[in-house]
């Protein structure tokens, strides 16, 4: 709105001056006609929508705007009101192939046996996952395609620094300059908290005996500050332990650099490793990956669903490194912490049926049941509005002896909640 206002102001100044001569009046009249014509054209431009405006933007910005628009349209299509019950409210008959075995450990045991049979590497953290994507072992999926949409993948990522995950510890990754800044910030934080604790303790010691409520409040504040102080010291000790060793420090710098290289390798955009939001977006991008064998199954089911119902298939989870799986278990108690969880293999993905009608669900389940009968996948209809699909690398189930051996590595479940 700023530009039209300036034009009108300029035009107004000419109109004031036109009393001094007819040429000025003619010029003002001509400018007025041009401006009115331009304003009348704006509604037409608005009707062209986001695509019309995108043509006026620089190429990278226009491409990103177009992708956002496409994803939004696909999401709306997924959630579109069908006028009938959907998800768990829809009455459906679940095929036997999508139900638990009598021994509920067997479902996970089969997936674990597939890993034991092929012994492929699984990612511990985003560093490993990024390297697997670079090597082609994992394939990065777009946020939306003609046949499917990534619907909540990476929803639990954070904006913190990338980390190396070792022995249950997350070691933050930095380059040399960032590491120096991290130590400076830690020193400042420690000094600040220590001074705050000292101040609170001094205030506590000055209280009279009858000031009990204030004493309790100060003691609680001191307790919280001491927790923060302990966490900050432990964080510094972890940095000292890993970055204090010259060989280990260079390894961590190398890990950081490998991620930075991947951040610049995507064809449609670069990610800034030093920017919190950009880091979070990159983590989501990395989690939007699968092994080629699983992707082939996903694309087959998605194509059939889209051709039948003219909707993209909503995919809610793909690969999960061990680090992310562990973090997820803190917010989702059903997320498995077994050795090599299915999603860590990159062979598992989840399909949401939350917005599907009974007909849609029956169609998808029938297709998945056929794939299981062919021995290409293992599948389960979960109570949390998802189908968990696990693809076998060579299109066949693992050896039965490996499955029996894997039963001891899994726990029985009482229902069909998410186990991975």
Centre a 10 Å sphere on the Cβ of residue 409 and count the other Cβ atoms it contains: 15
> Rounded to a whole number, what is the distance in angstroms from the first to the last CA of the chain?
52
Please report whether residue 27 resides in a domain.
yes
Query: Rounded distance, CA 149 to CA 142, Å?
Result: 8
Considering the domain architecture, whether residues 404 and 291 belong to the same structural domain is answered as yes
- Asked, for residue 114, whether it belongs to a domain, the answer is yes
Tell whether 181 and 265 lie within a shared domain.
yes
* pLDDT value, residue 54: 35
- Residue ranges with strand state E in 11-62: none
Q: Residues near 415 by Cβ (< 8 Å), separated by ≥ 6?
A: 383
pLDDT at 233: 96
62 in any annotated domain: no
pLDDT at 18: 37
Q: Report residues of the chain scoring pLDDT below 70.
A: 1-68, 329-339, 409-420
277 within domain boundaries: no
Whether residue 405 sits in one domain with residue 293: yes
Cα–Cα dist 289/138, whole Å? 6
Please check whether residue 242 lies inside any domain of the structure. Answer: yes
Same domain, 221 and 296: no
Domain count, the chain: 3
Cβ within 8 Å of residue 215, ≥6 positions away: 204, 207
H-helix or E-strand spanning residue 177:
helix 176-205
Q: Which residues are 170's β-sheet partners?
A: 165
- Domain with 37, as residue range(s), is 2-47
Closest CA to 71 of 309, 381, 288, 349: 288
| In-domain check, residue 26 | yes
CATH assignment at residue 349: 3.30.1380
pLDDT at residue 7, rounded to an integer: 37
pTM value is 0.77
Predicted pLDDT of residue 16: 34
Asked which of 272, 301, 324 is the last residue of a domain, the reply is 272
pLDDT of 65 reads 55
| pLDDT at residue 327, rounded to an integer | 77
* pLDDT value of position 339: 64
What are the tokens at 135?
Answer: 């090597």
In this structure, the answer to whether residues 294 and 154 fall within a common structural domain is yes
Give the C-alpha separation, 213 to 219, whole Å.
Answer: 10
Alpha carbon distance 138, 343 (integer Å): 13
Distant-in-sequence, close-in-space partners of 107: CB < 8 Å, separation ≥ 6: 100, 101, 378, 380, 419
The answer to whether the beta carbons of residues 239 and 108 sit under 8 Å apart is no
């Amino acid at each position: 709105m700023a530009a039209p206002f300036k034009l009108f102001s300029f035009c107004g100044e000419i109109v004031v001056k036109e009393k001094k001569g007819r040429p000025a009046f003619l010029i003002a009249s001509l400018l007025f006609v041009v401006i009115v014509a331009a304003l009348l054209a704006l509604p037409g431009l608005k009707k062209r929508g986001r695509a019309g405006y995108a043509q006026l933007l620089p190429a990278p910005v226009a491409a990103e705007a177009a992708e956002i628009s496409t994803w939004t349209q696909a999401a709306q299509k997924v959630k579109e009101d069908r006028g009938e019950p959907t998800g768990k409210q829809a009455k459906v008959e679940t095929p036997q192939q999508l139900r638990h075995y009598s021994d509920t450990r067997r479902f996970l045991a089969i997936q674990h046996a597939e890993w034991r049979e092929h012994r492929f590497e699984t990612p511990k953290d985003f560093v490993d996952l990024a390297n697997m994507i670079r090597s082609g072992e994992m394939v990065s999926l777009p946020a939306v395609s003609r046949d499917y949409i990534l619907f909540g993948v990476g929803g639990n990522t954070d904006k913190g620094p990338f980390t190396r995950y070792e022995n249950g510890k997350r070691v933050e990754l930095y380059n040399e300059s960032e590491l120096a800044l991290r130590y400076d910030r830690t020193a400042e934080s420690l000094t600040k908290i220590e001074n705050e604790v000292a101040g609170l303790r001094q205030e506590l010691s000055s209280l009279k005996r009858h000031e009990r409520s204030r004493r309790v409040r100060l003691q609680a504040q001191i307790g919280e500050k001491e927790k923060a102080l302990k966490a900050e010291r432990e964080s510094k000790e972890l940095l000292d332990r890993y970055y204090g060793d010259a060989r280990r420090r260079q390894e961590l710098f190398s890990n950081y650099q490998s991620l930075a290289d991947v951040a610049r390798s995507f064809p449609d955009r670069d990610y800034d490793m030093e920017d919190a939001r950009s880091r979070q977006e990159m983590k989501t991008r990395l989690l939007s990956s699968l092994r080629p064998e699983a992707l082939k199954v996903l694309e087959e089911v998605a194509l059939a669903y889209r051709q039948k119902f003219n909707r993209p298939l909503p995919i809610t989870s793909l690969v999960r490194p061990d680090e992310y799986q562990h973090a997820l278990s803190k917010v989702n108690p059903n997320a498995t912490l077994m050795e090599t969880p299915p999603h860590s293999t990159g062979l598992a993905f989840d399909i949401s049926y939350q917005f599907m009608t009974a007909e849609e669900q029956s169609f998808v389940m029938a297709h998945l049941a056929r794939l299981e009968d062919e021995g290409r996948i293992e599948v389960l209809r979960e109570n949390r509005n998802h189908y968990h699909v696990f693809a076998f690398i060579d299109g066949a189930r693992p050896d039965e002896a490996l499955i029996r051996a894997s039963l001891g590595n899994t726990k029985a479940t009482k229902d069909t909640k998410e186990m991975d």
